[in-house]
Amino acid sequence: MRKAEAEYWKSEFDNATNSNEFWKVVKKVHRKTKSIKIGPLEDDLGNVQTDEKEKAELMNNYFATVGEKLAEAFPAQIESEQFILRITPSIDELKIDDKLLVNQIKTINPDKASGPDDIKPKDFNIAGEALIDGLRIVFKKSRETRKLPQAWKKGKLKAAFKKGNTTKRSNYRPLTMLSLPSKMLEKHVSQQIDEHINQHNLSNDKQWGYKRGRSTELLLLNLTEHWKMALDSGKTVGILFIDFKKAFDSVNHTILMGKIQGKGIAGEVYEWLKDYLTDRQQFTDLNGLYSSSRTVKYGVPQGSLLGPRLFKIYVDDLPDNVSEGWVYMFADDTTGYDIGDNIDVATDKLNQMAGEIYEWCRKNKITAHIGKTEAMILSQQPFYGPVKPICFGNEQIKLVTTTQSLGVTIDNRLTWKEQHKKVIKSFSAKLSQLKRMKYLPRYVLEEIYHKAIIPNVTYGILVWGTCSPSLMDDLENHHVRAAKMIYNIRQDNLTNEQILEKVDWKPIGDIYKKRILTLMHDVYYMNVPQDLQNLFTQTVRIGRRKQNFNLVRCKTEKGRTSLRYRGPIAWNQLDNDTKAIVNKIAFKTKIRNSPNLDSINFLKEAAVNNNKNTKDFKYF
């Protein structure tokens, strides 16, 4: 049976002619294509409902009203306040781009889900360019009337389980499918708004979500680097990790339209957006049964192209409403921090920050989830006695020693021990799953490992790769275990280095070094956000820029684990020809094949003399 299964999967992979088909087969191997049926659900009175139609109605009613109930819990008079900021540049004419329309028809993904009209993307592929004239007429009519066709304002929702009790509707996430022509029209409006905001630099630099070149890993790196700088200077850092309840669903349309005007969006574009948000409806598809439709009065459509952009405009002023400290956002994930000379000062500043964020939430009708909002104190100094309470409105925020932020576990010493436990647990589970597929062809197993498992395991390694050598050795052991499994190596007398050399794999430590060098390449060519760029300085000679970065002097070991310290050490050890490669892909190819990675080390003396042949050290 195992051999028969191996032959079957070998045939499936051999028939996969492109990357999309390859990953479809991978999902089939992982059994990820199986749909999960939603079971009984609790109603508002706590009664468990099992009837399929009733469950669909319950889910739809919850999704349609959850944001409205949260927003209307705030005082009504707040809605009448003005939020408009006067900005000179503006757009008022809605444009339909004919070239974009033709390209949209040609590049429609046939595998996307259909919307509430049940028109499948595959149908658009078949019709092709014959649809262009008809769509152009509808799009231009929409522009002239400043209205979106009513049929395109309806969304079909499917509920995706997150975690927790399966009977609780709050433990499901709504996935909205919209009409394909509607999303195509949204693309034209979104492109125009993006060009306007980017051209005039109207987006808050502290909002990293939905921006090219800004990832969750980079935001975490930016935050932890500034925290390490403060700790290295003997300061104390107070941090707020704020979780919002159904933030996308709670957007107040009146407030949003005021903020849209504040971005200089007026005339046809403004009126079209106002109609876009008006009289929207949704129904829920639950286990194949449809609920009735309900009008949605609050929120922005999730699953749309405009939804994230409108939400970003809505929350864009939050960081600027904090007078001291720094607030960074990735969509609705919000992290604020401030620095003090001691814990008492840091907690006082956190309380001030929490109060100002609470006031912003009150004015904008966004609700913080106090049960999931947390505070943390980072300090190198010993502290005895209770910490002052940190309050959000009338409620106290929980003070924690570890927390999850943007997929990484952070502890109050920045040792990354808890993150390491999570990574190793995930690594072990994935390798066990890989072991159950060992009858697949070797090249398939190797591709799954390097393209699916390694990127998942090494997510955030720029942030937590500064953990202790023993923790990294543990990760290396699992890497070697994978090599032995895939290549069926049974010799117990081989070292890790010998096994990796035998299968022609690089150690995990090299992945960490390559990620550092790739980031430093972006820094050198100024392709990172300004906050990260400011961490590094270069020596400038008359008439030309020096290719090395200045080395920083750190007072503590915590400072020496920062990328601000390690990045210049790694970069300065590259040869000048490699540094001069402007193209990022060519640079990554060059360092991938470079034998110099082994010589890069982060010992203390490496910062003193980069040309000295120091003892090689895997990670530090």
3-state SS, 559-608, equals: HHCCHHHHHHHHHHCCCHHHHCCCCHHHHHHHHHCCHHHHHCCCCHHHHC
Cβ neighbours around 137 below 10 Å, total: 10
Task: Name the phi and psi angles at 359, rounded to 5.
Answer: -65, -40
pLDDT band at 605 (very low <50, low <70, confident <90, very high): low
What residue segments make up the domains of the chain, in order of their start? 53-206+249-313, 216-247+321-407, 511-593
pLDDT, greater one: 27 or 249 = 249
Distance CA 327, CA 239 (A): 10
Task: Say how many residues make up the chain.
Answer: 620
Which of 213-217, 334-338, 500-504 has maximum average pLDDT?
334-338
Percent of the chain residues topping a pLDDT of 90 = 55
* Whole-number pLDDT of residue 316: 93
Q: Is the dihedral of CA 611, 567, 603, 469 positive or negative?
A: negative
Largest CA-CA distance found in the chain, in angstroms, rounded: 78
* Whole-number pLDDT of residue 618: 44
The token pair that represents 73 in the structure block: 């819990």
- Per-residue pLDDT averaged across 27-32, rounded? 67
- Per-residue pLDDT averaged across 525-545, rounded? 79
Question: In which residue are the tokens 């339909």 written?
Answer: 96
Burial class of 318 by CB neighbour count within 10 A (0 to 12, 13 to 18, 19+) = buried
pLDDT at 29 exceeding the cut of 80? no
Between 18-27, 43-52, 271-280, 491-500, the lowest mean confidence (pLDDT) is in 18-27
3-state SS, 438-463, equals: CCCCHHHHHHHHHHHHHHHHCCCHHH
pLDDT digits (tens, 9 = 90+) for 450-467: 888 898 899 999 999 888
The token pair that represents 573 in the structure block: 């050890």
For residue 10, give the nearest of 437, 385, 343, 609 by alpha carbon: 437
pLDDT band at 376 (very low <50, low <70, confident <90, very high): very high
Look up residue 63 and give its amino acid.
Answer: F
pLDDT, greater one: 524 or 383 = 524
* Whole-number pLDDT of residue 271: 95
Cβ neighbours around 472 below 10 Å, total: 23
pLDDT, greater one: 452 or 67 = 67
pLDDT, greater one: 78 or 178 = 178
pLDDT band at 619 (very low <50, low <70, confident <90, very high): very low
* Whole-number pLDDT of residue 608: 52
* Whole-number pLDDT of residue 309: 94
Q: Does residue 361 contact residue 247 with C-beta atoms inside 8 Å?
A: no
pLDDT digits (tens, 9 = 90+) for 282-303: 999 998 889 999 999 999 988 8
Distance CA 480, CA 63 (A): 47
pLDDT, greater one: 408 or 20 = 408
Distance CA 385, CA 448 (A): 51
SS3 state at 159: strand
Nearby residues of 70 by Cβ (< 8 Å), 6 or more positions away: 245, 246, 249, 250, 365, 367
pLDDT band at 620 (very low <50, low <70, confident <90, very high): very low
Q: Does residue 562 contact residue 229 with C-beta atoms inside 8 Å?
A: yes
